[in-house]
Structure 1
């Protein structure tokens, strides 16, 4: 949600809150921890009253979008604000270590392969549940929550799911 009505220029107000789905936070965090991709939750302009952060993969070597002040719009004026990327680590109070296969195998050395797979799947499911239950109630967004003025702002996090 944003503060106030948009000014006559069409620029958005300051973002006050974002909505995230618990499963999206867990999926983004798991993907970031288990691969070389940077997976974030992305809030895209135009910013409105109800903003939902959605999964977005930046991939390896992806260059972030420059701030709005560094981009020109079609008429030579200022472009729309850049999307806001929220690191899933910032949305979890205490990120638990991800259960690696070698660790869960070591805990069940006497078990057969199928049992080890089941135990690992249970450990991953437990990790995901812990992450889902640890989503924070607020987060700091860079660039003032508008994609370019350089300050940070703390916003509420509305948790879905």
Structure 2
């Protein structure tokens, strides 16, 4: 076995930008609890991959480390657009008439804009919850 069973061996995690954005969106749209999972054995640099929290139970030690996608973006990250907010914005626009089709288009545009904008708000470090307590690591964003 290469690596360590001790998650404090981790110095940094690499996350795919698309995985983080997808996890954030899934949590907001569907109420699911996606996470980015770091799977043992642990070493200095680890990859965190998209995973549905609770999808797999682990009896083996050490258990994987789960990182909430919200922990990977700053507090200043844009708020995910809801269909209701998009509808309100469209109805308040005096230059266009509200239609369901226009609402769908505007909401898709708002989500696309959010997906692009949120990638400017990734954190440089994140604190992992480990069996021995919190452990701060660097974050490298791929893609």
TM-score by length of 1: 0.74
Instruction: Say if 1:18 and 1:156, in contact at 8 Å, map to a contact too.
Output: yes
Report the Cα offset of residue 63 of structure 1. Answer: 8.8
Q: Unaligned 5+ residue runs, structure 1?
A: 66-70, 72-78
For each residue in 1:80-110, what CA deviation from the matched residue of structure 2 results, as whole angstroms up to 9, or x when unmatched? 4110000011000024322111111122132
1:142 match: 129
Say whether 1:153 aligns with 2:120. no
Say whether 1:105 aligns with 2:100. no
**Residues 39-118 of structure 1 mapped to structure 2, 5 A cutoff:** 39-58=34-53, 65=58, 79-94=60-75, 95-109=77-91, 110-118=97-105
Q: Distance between the aligned counterparts of 1:156 and 1:139, measured in 2? A: 6
Residue-pair matches, total:
135
Instruction: Say if 1:99 and 1:123, in contact at 8 Å, map to a contact too.
Output: yes
Report the Cα offset of residue 50 of structure 1. Answer: 3.8
Instruction: Say if 2:81 and 2:110, in contact at 8 Å, map to a contact too.
Output: yes
Q: Larger helix proportion, structure 1 or 2?
A: 2
Q: Unaligned 5+ residue runs, structure 2?
A: 92-96
Q: Larger strand proportion, structure 1 or 2?
A: 2
Instruction: Say if 1:46 and 1:80, in contact at 8 Å, map to a contact too.
Output: no
